[in-house]
Structure formats: structure tokens, C-alpha cells
A and B are shown apart, each in its own frame.
Chain A
Amino acid sequence: MSTNEQHWFLNPEDDAKITEVFATLRERYKNYKDPWGFNIDLCESALRKLMPLYRSYFKVRVFGKEHVQDKPYLIVGNHTGQIPLDGMLVTMAFALDISPPRILRAMVERFLAQLPFLGDLTAQTGSILGDRANCEYLIDHGESILVFPEGVRGISKNTPDYYKLASFSQGFYRIALQKKTPILPICVIGAEEMFPLVFHAKKIASMLKIPSLPLSANLLPLPSPIDIYIGKEIPIPEHMTADSSDKEIKERVFHIENTVKKMIVQGLANRRPFFDSIRRPVSKFLIKEFRSKSST
């Protein structure tokens, strides 16, 4: 069932694209019932509403689409921004710009699952509690999982640490070994600047029993241009198992961490200037005004 919503802010190509994507996804999920409450109609409706943000506000570009095949992956990347909008944009990229489309199942922090309204909403849009059994269940059902192994440390960095990768936790690699699921490294460039950090309210976070509370001066994200890079698949070594030693796992995780680091360095070299997104429309407007005045 399509939601058939009409949005004045959605251009016809994007509208047609979303309709096509969700026709494919509905076919894919027709015999699947999700025990977390994943709701494809809600996803479609959310995607339509968020599309202008994706296309026009953050101007998302996706590189390395050719590296993605039609199989489950553990998608591992850097976590950036004070509010983790990077996860949402990566999920949108894999639904809209990758073929065949898929809804990534993002692993979220434990505290999020227990929040009223928000816990239910994130579950309905495909997020799951970061737990080994949950991931294994989804991989068995052909789903790809989005993991940010930096965890909360990734989104609560101080300004001088932007784009510096915090060390990766190792749990995801044991899941990959258990299920023999390849790793797909990704990196997101541009999300660190959405919410320039002002203050880490550690005491309030501890009182509220949440892992982190970075406060920013702006309530809405700044229009930082976003680039998503998808690296080449990292296969799982045949000789390793989920019970391999910590030392072996550490080496592999370190290799993945380094791959993401290299992608960040390359991504930063190719990034668009932050003020371009504001400067261009403003200068276009000024030029237009100037021309109209000079003609009169």
C-alpha cells in the first residue's frame, strides 16, 4: 500500500523515485514481519518529508555506489555531529541512491530504546537496539546493519577533535565473523559542522541517565554539505571465527578503522566549502536583484 501523499515541496522526479523505491521495498518485505515494529508506510512518509533536507538542504552526494551488491552487509562508519543525523542521511542514501534499495537497520544506544514515543518511532523506522542477537536475527533475514563502532564518543567530540576517529569497539566484528557477513566501510563528511559544539552538559546527562548531552548554539542543523563515501567491501577471513582471540579481532578492527580514517582524509580533501550552500543562493539572489535594478 502506497502512502500516496502529495507534498508541495517535493519535485516530481524525487516523488517518482520514492514511489519506485518503495514499490521494490514492499516486494522485498511482503513476507517479512518485523519483531521491532518496522513500518514501511511510515518510512515512506518520513522519506517524502525529509527528501528536501536530503537533496536541497544538505545536498547529499554519494560516492562509491558501485561497491554495494545485493547482499547483507555490516556497514561501518564514523559517527559525527552532536545529534546523529548522519545515520539518517546514510539510511536515506542506501534507500534512494543505491540499487537495489534497502532500509538499513541502524544499531542504536540502549537509552534510546526506552524513551517514550522516540523509542517506538526509531523502531518503526528500522532502528534496533545494539545487541548481538538482534543483529544476527536481521542478517539471517537478509538485512544490512548500520553500525557506528565509536558509539556515543563519536557524536560528543570537542571541536578540535572533529573528524578524529575514536577507537572502534570490537563487538560488531564478532557478529560479522559469526554470520560471515562482509564489512562495508563508509565515511560521512560534513556532519560535524551541523551543530558546532558549545558545551558538554555532562552533569545534566548523568542526572538524566543519558550517555551524552552536547549542547549547541543552533537548534536546527546548519546546512553543511554532506558527502557519503562507500568503500570497497572488506571480506571476512575464512580462518577466523567468532571465538577468535581478542588480539586477532583487534588487528582486524584496527584495519577497518584505518580504512575509514583514509576515507575521511580523502573526503576532507574533496569537500565542498561549508558556506557554499549559503553563499551561492545568496549571491544568486543578489545578482538577480542587481540585474533587475540595472535594467530599470
Chain B
Amino acid sequence: MSQPQKILIIGIAGGLAQMTARLILTEHPDWEILGIDSRDIAKVPPLKGLTSLELKYSRGNFENLFRTHQFDVVYHLGRISHSSNTQNVLAKRIELSVMGTNRILELCERSAVKKVIILSTFHVYGALPDNSIFLKEDAPLRASLRHPELRDVVEMDQICTNWMWKNQNSISTVVLRPCNIIGTQIHNAMTRFLAGPIALSPADYNPFFQFIHEFDMAHVLYKSLKDVPTGTYNVAGDDFIALREALSVIGTRGIPFPIVLAGGLNSALKRLNIDVPDYLLDYLKFSCLISNHELQKHLGPNFLRFSIKEALEMIKLR
């Protein structure tokens, strides 16, 4: 991949996509990146080699894009966050994450893209009391068993992996399932939970978590271009941390609360239009730790720069 490449990054309004673009262009100033997003792109910082475009993810728009550019690499980082579950958002998520992904993959196949890198999530495994320790990539995706509203998350992952094996001879595809990504530019539910001034700290459970700093995640996305062959990979470090310890590392004041009562409290909050995703409560009860052995085979044993504690301490900079 030494020749100049043309790269499409879907979801460029996100902090992670911007960091990945910066890493690629720092290493390869002669490469071209087109970043698209359905969200406002005004805040995307100008970068030599990066063209940003605000675009609705409709079939016509996508087709035009692939007709006018010959992309070598497509980064699909545009999965809509599943941290809100209102009916409208749910419908939008299914439209974007499931239908949209299908559309993107179809166009990648048609226009002979060489490499596709897709950002999924470890939430596909689900936080269940009978989870084995360090789930491998072939573990069943059980997130939607308890929470049907996570259907789109699981379905998108399955669409991608099926497509990946179907096209493995012609297109190199990497599906990444990272653990909790945290950082100052990430606005996911876990970062908001940890970085708030106070947080509900389960009194009755103390699950273990894995965290990866946003910079490390961007680095893994960049390395996936050259060093990671077709396959599905969990992304996490070797270390893990108990929730109460994580809160004390950040300095967030944890208010002990029996999380078994949180379901009822959450239903009451929903009536007040305060939406805390139910699935997140399961993560405050049961561990969902993932194995990183597969990715280590390609990126080496110490592919992360920041330890969990360093990543957590950097959240304070928000």
C-alpha cells in the first residue's frame, strides 16, 4: 500500500474519525481522504488532504460518491450511537446502521474497493451473568437477547461479518469490536457516565471493565489498513479494572446505589424524558471482558500506548 491511496471515512464528524484521518495523513501526506457525515461538519478541523462533506446517507448520494471517486479504502465509522433508545432514534438507527451499512457494503463490492474497515462494538456480546471470561470473537452475539432495542447493533455486525467472508477473496475486510472507548473527544454513554461530577456506583455489584483510550483506538484503526488481515477482532488491552476502582481513579464521586432498583428508577425517569439506556444498567451489573489474542497476533503484544489507569486519568481533562 505504498501508492497514494484514496480513502473514504464515513462518520467524519466524530472525534475518532478525525483522529484516524490525522494519523493517516501524518504518515502519508500524499494520500487523499474524503470524510462524510450526515451530522454538521462545521467542527471538523481543516486538514491538508482531507475533504469533508455533509451528506445524507441515502442510496442516491452514496451511489454518486462511489461513481465519482475510486476509493481504495473505506472506513465505516458512522454507526449511529445506541446510547439513546427513544422510538425515533431507534428507527433512525435501524435505517442508518442496518440499511445504510448494507448499502455501503454493496457499493464497496461494486466499485472494487480494496479494503473495508468497520467499527462495530463489544456491546454485541451483551452483559450477561453467564458470560465466560475473555470472550473470543466466535462467542455468540447475545446483546439483543435481553435488550431487543440493541437489534441494530447486532444485526449490523452480522451483516458485516457475513459480507466479509463472502467477499474474502476480493476485498480485505476488518471488523473491529472495541471495548469501551474513552477520551476527551468521545461522547459515548460510558465516557459521560464516568466523567460526570457524580455517578451511581452499584452497591450490589462490582463488574470489571476494559477501556481503551481514543488515541489508541485511532491507532488500531490506522494499523488495520496495512497490518491486519481479513477478520473480526476484539480490541482491548490485557488489563481490566473494577468499576468502583475506575471511578476512584478518575475521582468521580460514586453514590452507592443498589443497581437492582435502578430498573424501576429508570422507568420513572423515562416518563420525565430522561433516557438512560437499559442495556447500560446490565453493564453495571455483569462483566463483559473480551479477549485480545487475535489482534495481538498481528499488532504485537503491546499494541496500546496507554494503560487503563492512564486512559481513565486522561478523562479528567474533559
Contacts and interface: CB of A to CB of B under 8 A. Distances in A.
Interface of A: 33, 35-37, 110, 113-114, 116-117, 119-120, 129, 131-134, 137
B204 interface: yes
B133 A120 contact: no
B269 interface: no
A131 B289 contact: no
Given A113-B129, A113-B130, A35 B204 contact: no
B196 interface: no
B208 A129 contact: no
Contact of A137 (B134, B239, B242, B259): B134
A137 B133 contact: yes
B204 A131 contact: no
Interface string B258-277: 11100000000000000000
B55 to A, nearest CB: 43
A129 B130 contact: yes
B258 A36 contact: no
B205 interface: yes
B132 A131 contact: yes
A142 B203 CA distance: 31
Contact of A133 (B132, B206, B239, B240): B132
A37 B130 contact: no
B66 interface: no
Given A116-B205, A116-B260, A35 B286 contact: no
6 contacts: A35-B289, A110-B129, A120-B205, A129-B129, A133-B133, A137-B133
A131 B133 CA distance: 9
A266 B201 CA distance: 51
A132 B289 CA distance: 16
A253 B203 CA distance: 41
B173 interface: no
B287 interface: yes
Given A116-B258, A116-B259, A116-B260, A37 B134 contact: no
B287 A35 contact: yes
A124 to B, nearest CB: 8
Contacts of A110: 129-130
B127 to A, nearest CB: 11
Given A35-B208, A131-B130, 14 more contacts: A33-B240, A35-B240, A35-B289, A36-B133, A37-B208, A110-B129, A114-B286, A116-B204, A116-B258, A117-B204, A120-B206, A129-B129, A133-B134, A134-B132
A67 B132 CA distance: 32
Interface centre among B203, B204, B289 (most CB of A within 10 A): B204
Nearest to A117: B204
A24 to B, nearest CB: 25
B201 to A, nearest CB: 13
A113 B286 CA distance: 9
A129 B206 CA distance: 15
A49 B129 CA distance: 29
Contacts of B134: 35, 133, 137
Contacts of B239: 33
A37 B208 CA distance: 8
Interface in B278-306: 285-287, 289
Interface string B58-99: 000000000000000000000000000000000000000000
Nearest to B203: A117
Contacts of A36: 133, 208, 287
Contacts of B130: 110, 113, 129, 131
Given A116-B205, A117-B204, A37 B242 contact: yes
A137 B204 CA distance: 25
B97 to A, nearest CB: 29
